Amino acid sequence: MDDYLTADRPTFVTHLECSMTGEHYPADTLHNLSKVGRPLLVRYDLSAVGEALSRDTLSARDTDLWRWRELLPVRRAENIVSLGEIETPLIPVPKSGGERVLVKDEGRLPTGSFKARGLVMAVAMAKELGVRRIAMPTNGNAGAALAAYAARCGIETIVFCPEDTPEVNVREIAAQGSRVWRVNGLIDDCGAIVAKGAAEGRWFDFSTLKEPYRIEGKKTMGLELAAQLGWRLPDAIFYPTGGGTGLIGMWKAFDELEALGWIGSKRPRMYAVQASGCAPIVRAFEAGEEHAERWEDAHTVAAGIRVPRAVGDFLILRAVRESGGKALAVGDPAILKAVDDCARRDGLLLCPEGGATLAAYRQALRDGEVDADEEVVLFNCATGLKYPLPPASATLDRHQVIDFEAL
């Protein structure tokens, strides 16, 4: 581990701020939502960060998540928890996407998904603030990341997931020491159980955006992207959006980088991608609403974006609108075709949620929302190996005459 991780260094958090009202809350104190029931955002003394950290200093560090330490909330090095959070690569997909389409492949992270970014930060801060028991609802990958990082630092975890959560996710969560329960409902039904237990003092509620620090881990996607592209940003970003933590976090990261003088004012158009079977953000965007009503009878093959209601809905919609982007819905057939095309033509196995971003990009290209010569980044949020794959049942009897032409 690099010396910038093993020694205590100045940290620059000044306070937390209600994302709706702007009211200030003290740092170094355990919080869930603000008084008005909205997410809290971590604020930094960015002038001091700029004096302490230069782009050249940053560039000399190993390219991992913790290189951004001065823009992260953990104060003491002893509370950093890590399973090797690398900088994820940008992979061109010229055949299935286009000549200027890049996939940021988050499946390379620990536990195989971008949930590692948010949960490593949230767990490190839970450790720092003395939390001993955590509960969380999950569609799969977030629960796996929580279980892994919590096991690493000895925090007890209880995870609730919809009963149709992929078997590999449920077993992964259990294998890493969490008590995992299948619930006959959707993720917000699981969240209601977590909230009730938290209200009774049984555990700390780690639901999406109900604690302030998952955003800080997820914003490293935006920090990395700027560094990888030579301190500029792409023309458009397509992001698979359930709870929307990563989209919100990247939008925050871009503002922080501009305040440091490391990038200019240009922003990518942000496209929030949902499945047509669960598209509350799309419906609210098209209606011009600030908040999204719960989506009833939510269903899609992309379980990670099957989130009927998001507590940070207004932050997602705000980022999309300010960027000149859009909320887009794509159907399951288009998602599955995109996954198949990318694997067969470009050799990159997307998860269904990642496939949704490729399907949405293709739709946006047809509709004139993006041009083929624009630089576009799609987010593949998990390795496709964690999802059911099509059967491959061909067999060969080595004792029989082999028809090599048929092979």
pLDDT of residue 298: 94
pLDDT band at 169 (very low <50, low <70, confident <90, very high): very high
Q: How many CA atoms lie within 13 A of 96 on its CB side?
A: 30
Token pair of 105, please? 């492949």
Token pair of 19, please? 């994302």
pLDDT band at 6 (very low <50, low <70, confident <90, very high): low
CATH 3.40.50.1100 residue ranges for the chain: 90-110+215-386, 115-205
- The DSSP line for 269-305 is EEEEEEETTB-HHHHHHHHT-SS-PPPTT---S-GGG
Distances in Å between the Cα of 405 and the Cα atoms of 133, 350, 402 are 61, 32, 9
pLDDT above 60 (res 199): yes
pLDDT band at 3 (very low <50, low <70, confident <90, very high): low
Does residue 133 contact residue 158 with C-beta atoms inside 8 Å? yes
Q: What is the CATH number of domain 90-110+215-386?
A: 3.40.50.1100
The sign of the CA dihedral 368, 371, 376, 382 is positive
Please name which of 108, 341, 359 lies closest in space to residue 238, comparing C-alpha atoms. Answer: 359
Average confidence (pLDDT) over 271-276: 98
Alpha-carbon span 179 to 199, nearest angstrom: 19
pLDDT above 80 (res 2): no
Strand partners, 156: 133
Report pLDDT digits (tens) over 101-145.
999 999 999 999 999 999 999 999 999 999 999 999 999 999 999
Does residue 262 contact residue 226 with C-beta atoms inside 8 Å? yes
Residues 6+ apart with CB under 8 A from 156: 132, 133, 134, 150
pLDDT of residue 402: 94
Class of domain 115-205: alpha beta
The angle subtended at Cα 75 by Cα 144 and Cα 203, nearest 5°, is 45
